[in-house]
Structure 1
Amino acid sequence: MVAILLLVIPLSQIGLDVYTPALPEMTAAFDASNELVQNTVTAYILGMSVSFIPTGLIADAVGRKRVLLAGAGLLALTSVGCAVAVNLTLLLGMRFIQGIGASGCLLMAAAIAADRFRGAKLVSVLGLLGAAWGAAPVLAPAVGGFVVAHGSWRLVFVLFAVAVAAVTLLVAKTMPETLPAHRRAPIDLRAAAGVLGEALRHRVFLGFVVMFGLIGAAQMVFGVVGPFLFEGGLGFSPAAYGLVALIVGTANLAGELACGGLAQRTTTRRLALAAWSVMILGATTLVVSAETVGVHGWVITLGAALVLCGIGVLDPQSKGLAMGVFDRNIGLIGGLVNTCCYLIVSAAMALMAYLPESSQAPLGWFYLASGVAFVVILLVTVRQEATPVASCSAVPSQPDSPR
């Protein structure tokens, strides 16, 4: 079962990243502006954002397997729709619906693991799933760039549809249902709304959620800005840009692995401060280099890699802080955390799509602003007294905070 989940969980991230090396080519194909084509990424993330909570509620009522199959099937079908889209409006619509399907794959992989395993075994399995998810943005752009260089952006979507269909068939044939009927809960919208409403009034929780969203946004914007900087500004081929994305993604994955390896060896505060410093150093490199050396491929790669390495540490830390506030209704709270995060990411993507891409300065300033906002919110939030939410937490608890 774990092997199947390792194939399922990266699908949502592959769908986000695999075609980004083709964004400049798609701009020419549709005779559209850069910002409109970049919004195909925003539409996908927005689709994920609005469906996390309802997907979780439905899965608790009808079981995991059916929701996973529906999500994966929708992901495959809409990928075909993207491949044959005749105009940008249709492509944007397909990408939004595709995001809805992707949310089911992401959520159900973790839910199935939690159904089947407990304790140290669950932690181990979730670690493996996290590594598989983290590897997707490293490898997907490189593969997508190779396909675009030897085929077209439409072929990227076709091949992705085939891959998702193969995983869907494997799930249908071999994956058992992990949520038995006696453990299922009917959908109670009033109760769910009450839990969500009280959580949204919890200031400490909201602070940690915004921090997680800011870091998530900073983590993803390179994927929509990078292709135009390297392919449009520097004349890189899609395959060459894919290698750049591979370098930057590897730095991000290295940060995530470092977070796991160093979390038990140093304090949360020291680890977060070191990672934040690396992020700010990379952002400063991008801003300063834009004024001194101009658009330079290796300098941009270095700055982005430093930023993404720091983010690789801060991302799991900030999510852990948000998820650690409550000890009940974790599935629903987790859906809320993901929803808020992806809404912030969607707003950031829309903003970056309308900023000029003639230099790395806007990207650097975005990273700097995100980093400063992150640390300000962190300092304000951890000083507040955490007031438990009755319907979300069974016993009074304090949120995890930097030590």
Structure 2
Amino acid sequence: MNALRTTAAARPRVVVLYGGQSSEHAVSCVTAAGVLEAFDTSRYEVIEVGITTEGQWTRPAIDPRTHSFASGKAPGVTPTGHSIQLIPARNGTPDGKAHLVEIGTNGAATELGPVDVILPLLHGPFGEDGTIQGLLELARVPYVGAGVLASAVGMDKHFMKLAFESAGLHVGPWVTVTRREWTTDPQEALNRAQSLRLPVFVKPARAGSSVGITRVDEWSQLDEAISTAQRHDPKVIIEQGIDGREIECGVLDTTDGSPAQASLLGEIVVDHQVEPTAFYDYTAKYSSDATTGLHCPADLPEAVSEDIRRQAVLAFEAVGSEGLSRVDFFYTTGGEIIINEINTMPGFTPISMFPQVWKATGLSFQELINQLIELALARPVGLR
């Protein structure tokens, strides 16, 4: 295979990294399809690299732009006989940049050229949780999105909530159950959980896209719900249900040191007439015929909207995020604003909230991608 060559020296070379080893592998593939379709190729040279569920880095055997959920079959990165390696940037080399190398089945290496920035469109553990960010820091290559610590805190709902509380944000009641607690004294863990008010939502502590979440309306369902969550993560979060509107806000970093920017607000609207116990689960997020809808801008009093946007930026700062995040809130009938979570690499599928709220704010999908890449290129690698 011939090496990739830069056709326009002025164009930064952007590696779009997708797939990964988490239960959100398919979501990452669909995210990549949306981003690649909107990429400004006159401005950037794009190199696609997929990560299989087994962890192989490879040039895609299937055009990632074709990935979708439309067929009913989850898309994925296909293993190949050629693996990609990321060679760290080194002082004294002609360009001082990280490089990609492809290793064939016979062990022969093909130089694929330098890397200016990596866009890691990875969701869930082993991609969004600080692991890939640590690898990219060691390789001294700029990348889009939050750094190691912010990614790890943003992925772990327990520590995320602690960071929010420390920043003075209002967090709903919750209980954490670790593998050790569940193994040594499951009854005590169940008793702690039952201090909450039904319904409760049982979630993997370090997963996203609503994977492994169960709504529990009777305590007899709790044991099975914990087992379901533990199939994705041995650490489990049990959250008290909140009767309120689900409001989401996009946050974008700036290059001049000024505070991050908050988008207009979006609202998740669940059709409880169709399904009384429905919530914004995996199907709702990625199915066009789900019982939920996304409304943007959300119909809220101006003062409430401004307060939620302010709190979204505060949450972004509380975990030390960079680049982008989506921050989710509940707005109760009593007028309370309760923060739910932060997502440091939100989905970019065609029906995802993050690009929709920025479109409503005045930033097109392509402009949004351009801004994220420019933020990454302007950010130094290493400690900052």
TM-score over 0.5 for the alignment?
no
Structure number having the greater strand percentage: 2
TM value normalised by structure 2: 0.23
TM value normalised by structure 1: 0.22
Structure number having the greater helix percentage: 1
